[in-house]
A = this chain, B = another copy of it.
């Protein structure tokens, strides 16, 4: 099977990492819209327009399924993409909410949802989890984590100060939904801030979801990955090498 992975930039590589680790596909086509990243501070209509344009790009590759790695795109454009595409399109939000349910049966679990301004504003995670009976959900936009991670900062006082800034009024968290593909890179620090809270990671969540719903369980020995970017493709490939390392067969 051949999967397309769409992201607003480099963040979706954390999802590719999970797909590679679990050997779900024979071929991965990754497209990051680095010329227009970030999406998370932009308007709903703009996000939808960009996502529909990305769909056109994937028509070049005869993919079997499209994974929307970006939480912001999943929140705003998934419905539209599902309508327009003639292949299955899967976002990360529904899988994330299901992963949380699998990990925490107790409906009194204290849940923190973090993401970009746009993702949190959409309220998608919150809506899904409330439908399932979860009562204690706090959502906080933590947009600065994105440029901090892109700056290559994964620990230290800038990150510590930013966590205190965002989380100063939040206590006793059991589970954190990492509602942005950049956040797995600082997962340990976020978990540590809340005394070891479990973090729900879009990449792991979507792997579970694909295995269960799309028969993606082939354990391909070798996955070929092609990377495309709307700006500075070499930059994207460098980040891919850094984040994915030995998982890439070059």
A 135-171 contacts with B by CB, 8 A: 143-144, 146-148, 150-151, 153, 156-158, 160-162, 164-165
Instruction: Answer yes or no: A121 CB below 8 A from chain B CBs.
Output: no
What copy number does this chain have within its complex? 2
Are A42 and B46 in contact, with the CB atoms below 8 A?
no
How far, in angstroms, from A36 to B46 measured CA to CA in the complex?
10
Interface size on A, residues (CB 8 A): 28
Q: Write the nearest CB–CB distance from A229 to chain B, whole angstroms.
A: 10
How far, in angstroms, from A56 to B234 measured CA to CA in the complex?
29
A 79-135 contacts with B by CB, 8 A: none
CB neighbours of A62 from chain B (8 A): none
Are A46 and B151 in contact, with the CB atoms below 8 A?
no
Instruction: Answer yes or no: A172 CB below 8 A from chain B CBs.
Output: no
Instruction: Answer yes or no: A248 CB below 8 A from chain B CBs.
Output: no
Are B231 and A42 in contact, with the CB atoms below 8 A?
yes
How far, in angstroms, from A43 to B162 measured CA to CA in the complex?
28
Chain A, residues 33-49, CB within 8 Å of chain B (1/0): the string is: 01111000111001000
**Which one of B42, B43, B157, B232 contacts A161 once the chains associate, using CB atoms below 8 Å?**
B157
A 11-38 contacts with B by CB, 8 A: 34-37
How far, in angstroms, from A144 to B158 measured CA to CA in the complex?
10
Given contacts A43-B235, A144-B158, A157-B164, 7 further A-B contacts (CB under 8 A): A35-B36, A35-B42, A37-B41, A42-B231, A158-B158, A158-B165, A161-B162
**Which one of B146, B150, B232 contacts A43 once the chains associate, using CB atoms below 8 Å?**
B232
Which residue of chain B has the shortest Cβ distance to A146 in the bound complex? B147
Q: Write the nearest CB–CB distance from A7 to chain B, whole angstroms.
A: 15
